[in-house]
Structure 1
Amino acid sequence: MSNYDNKDAINQIDAIKNGLAPKVKQTGKSAPVSDEQKQTTPPAQTNKQLEELSANFSQAIIKTNFGEIKVKFYTKDALVTVNNFMNLAKKGFYNDTKFHRVIKDFMIQGGDPNSKDNDWSNDGQGGPGYQFQDEINNHKIIKGSLAMANAGPNTNGSQFFIVTAEATPHLDGKHTNFGYIVSGLDIIEKIENVKTNENDHPTDDVIIQKIELLK
Structure 2
Amino acid sequence: MAKPAPKPYVHPKPTPGNPIVVIETNMGTIEVELFKNKAPISTANFIKYVEAKFYDGTIFHRIKDDFMIQGGGFKEDLTEKAGKFPPIKNEADNGLSNTRGTIAMARTNVVDSATAQFFINVVDNKRLDHRGPGRRFGYAVFGQVIKGMEIADKIKDIPRVNKGGPFLWFPSQMVIIKKVELKK
Regarding TM over 0.5, the answer is yes
State the 1:127 CA deviation: 2.4
Deviation string 1:159-194 (CA, Å, 9 cap, x unpaired) is 0000001x2121001111000000101101110011
Aligned to 2:135: none
**Higher strand proportion, which one?**
2
Aligned to 1:170: 127
CA contact (8 A) 1:101 1:109 kept: yes
Q: Measure, in 2, the Cα distance between the counterparts of 1:117 and 1:67.
A: 17
Aligned to 2:100: 143
CA contact (8 A) 1:57 1:214 kept: no
Is 1:59 matched up with 2:20?
A: yes
Q: Measure, in 1, the Cα distance between the counterparts of 2:50 and 2:71.
A: 13
State the 1:118 CA deviation: 1.9
Q: Measure, in 2, the Cα distance between the counterparts of 1:61 and 1:132.
A: 22
Deviation string 1:101-146 (CA, Å, 9 cap, x unpaired) is 001121000010xx21423xx55x8322521111121111100010
Q: How does 1:1-215 map onto structure 2 within 5 Å? A: 58-112=19-73, 115-119=74-78, 123=80, 126-136=82-92, 137-152=94-109, 153-165=111-123, 167-173=124-130, 174-198=138-162, 199-215=168-184
Aligned to 2:165: none
Q: Measure, in 2, the Cα distance between the counterparts of 1:117 and 1:163.
A: 22
What stretches of structure 2 of length at least 5 have no aligned partner? 1-16, 131-137, 163-167
CA contact (8 A) 1:57 1:213 kept: no
Residues 143, 57 of structure 1: alpha-carbon distance in 2 compared, 3 angstrom cutoff: closer
Measured on the aligned residues, the alpha-carbon RMSD in Å equals 1.6
| Alignment size in residue pairs | 154
Aligned to 1:39: none
Aligned to 2:12: none
**Higher helix proportion, which one?**
1
Deviation string 1:3-39 (CA, Å, 9 cap, x unpaired) is xxxxxxxxxxxxxxxxxxxxxxxxxxxxxxxxxxxxx
SS in 2 for 1:209: strand
Identity fraction in percent:
32
State the 1:84 CA deviation: 0.9
SS in 2 for 1:75: coil
SS in 2 for 1:170: helix
What stretches of structure 1 of length at least 5 have no aligned partner? 1-55
TM-score (norm 1): 0.68
